[in-house]
Amino acid sequence: MKKIKYLFNSLLLITALLITSCETEDHEFGDIINPSNLQVTADIVGSDADNINGDGSGVVHLTALADNAITYKFISNGIETMAPSGMITYNFSTTGLSTYDVTVIAIGTAGVVANTSISVDVLVLYTPPADLLEAMFTGSWRVLAEEFGHMGVGPSEIDTPDWWQAAAFDKLDTGMYDDRYTFTPDGTLTVETFGSIFGKAPPLADEFIGDQGLTANGNNEYEYYPTDDFTSNWNIGAPGGQEHIYLDGNGFFGFYVGGTHTYKIIDRTSNTLVLKTIGFEGLAWYITLTNEL
């Protein structure tokens, strides 16, 4: 009986030690340090001594930096956007000179925060051509999968995908081809994902909700990254006379590469848009859209 009693007591002791060990591990957070010295700078595109409020495109690059911050949140006009890099581009569209307020939140360990606000006076002069708007508002847009070169990549300095172009239906085994993009006159872009999107793994994980347990393919892409439908704000500008579509938040077309979320219009007709964007790694990515069924 003594041996049984000793064995029982030993088991109780081991169990207690295991529970204590688990509890200690579950509550080990490390030092929690509030973000501090939060600074936000604004770069209004085209701003100089003669045009302090910009070149009329309405594009503003904001950069936030704080000690002990692990990510940042920007809030403008009630829309919240996470930006782990601390950098975001806004494309303001109200014609004339307007003041825009942006709240910036630096987030540290265990969710502790610091916040500040910035106001920028921005001039918007550009009015998009009627034929472009008419095309954008016609139906919903999709990647022109059936055409060679509907996706491509090249150096950022030129406007041609010199390094690679996709064959027709080359990305059939991804979440790209069923996505739909709808522009509305109020400046909203609706992205219908049908459950998943296709893109580079680093910006998807950083700008959405982590890697979600996915394994990237050999090109460091998530072929089917799960996400619900979402919206973005869009605006059109023409710096230097070249038309661009500016998106905020996680707005994108076809292949998610993060970066500027700005798409230069290389070519367009009433039913096609050939677009170029600079991704997170500094490469130029190309996508061709159509509003045909």
Identical topology for domains 36-124 and 130-290? no
Report yes or no: 146 and 168 within 8 Å, Cβ to Cβ. yes
H or E stretch including 136? Answer: helix 130-136
In 10 A of CB 249, how many CB atoms? Answer: 21
Which burial class, exposed, middle or buried, applies to 5 when counting CB atoms under 10 A from its CB (0-12, 13-18, 19+)? exposed
The SS3 of residue 5 is helix
Report yes or no: 119 and 100 within 8 Å, Cβ to Cβ. yes
Q: Print pLDDT tens along the chain (293 aa).
A: 444 444 334 444 444 444 444 444 444 556 788 899 999 999 999 999 999 999 888 889 999 999 999 999 999 987 788 888 899 988 787 778 999 999 999 999 888 999 999 999 999 887 889 999 999 999 999 999 999 999 999 999 999 999 999 999 999 999 999 999 999 999 999 999 999 999 999 999 999 999 999 999 999 999 999 999 999 999 888 876 789 998 988 999 999 999 989 999 999 999 999 999 999 999 999 999 999 98
**For position 2, what pLDDT does the model report?**
40
- Rounded-to-integer distance, Cα 249 and Cα 110, Å: 24
| CA-CA-CA-CA dihedral for 258, 72, 25, 212, to nearest 10 | -20
For the structural domain made of 36-124, what CATH number should be given? 2.60.40.2470
Q: Where are the beta strands (DSSP E) in 135-187?
A: 142-143, 151-154, 164-165, 180-183
- Rounded-to-integer distance, Cα 25 and Cα 42, Å: 43
- Rounded-to-integer distance, Cα 125 and Cα 58, Å: 8
**For position 81, what pLDDT does the model report?**
85
**For position 248, what pLDDT does the model report?**
87
**For position 28, what pLDDT does the model report?**
53
Lay out the sheet containing 87-91: strands in order across: 36-44, 59-67, 87-91
**For position 44, what pLDDT does the model report?**
95
CATH architecture of 130-290: Beta Barrel (2.40)
Closest CA to 242 of 151, 132, 150: 132
Give me the residue spans of the domains in the chain: 36-124, 130-290
**For position 206, what pLDDT does the model report?**
93
In 10 A of CB 158, how many CB atoms? Answer: 10
H or E stretch including 22? Answer: helix 2-26
pTM above 0.85, yes or no: no
